[in-house]
Amino acid sequence: MGLFDQLAQTATSMLGQGDGKPDQLVQVMTQLLGKDSGIGGLNGLIQAFQKSGLSEIVNSWVSTGANLPISPEQVKQGLGGQLLQQLSAGTGLSPEACSSQLSSLLPTLVDSLTPEGKVPESNLLEQGLSLLRGKLG
């Protein structure tokens, strides 16, 4: 099983327990992490959390060590209210439910996308995200 197969399986199984639509949340996240997203892809997501005072948390996801947890409130802080609203609208979840599910998904998602402790080249990341979208679509 490849990295993105594993990522899709992990993400959907983690979110399958909650309310809402897990596949849609994962799909919205893959769009968010794409190079043409409003946040600037994976690099932009990492920078948004760093600028929000959450460097230690997000850096742990990128590094090869253990992932620090993040609370739903910190997800909202890192993404900002407007982006969280957009993600919520794309999934049919309330902003609270969306941030709660993202608090479970983001550490594993970012960690899986940075297996060597660094952000991959954008072309490789984009190819992987396309594969992931295909698995969920």
Tell me the fold of 3-136. Arc Repressor Mutant, subunit A (1.10.10)
- Rg of the chain, C-alpha, whole Å: 13
> Could you report the average pLDDT of every consecutive run of 10 residues in the chain (137 residues)?
51 49 67 71 89 97 94 95 85 87 88 81 56 56
Query: In angstroms, what CA-CA distances link 74 with 21, 42, 65, 67?
Result: 22, 17, 20, 15
Q: What are the residue boundaries of the structural domains of the chain, listed by start?
A: 3-136
Query: 93: which 2 tokens?
Result: 């979840």
pLDDT recorded at residue 1: 43
> Per the confidence metrics, is the pTM higher than 0.85?
no
31: helix, strand or coil? helix
Alpha carbon distance 45, 55 (integer Å): 11
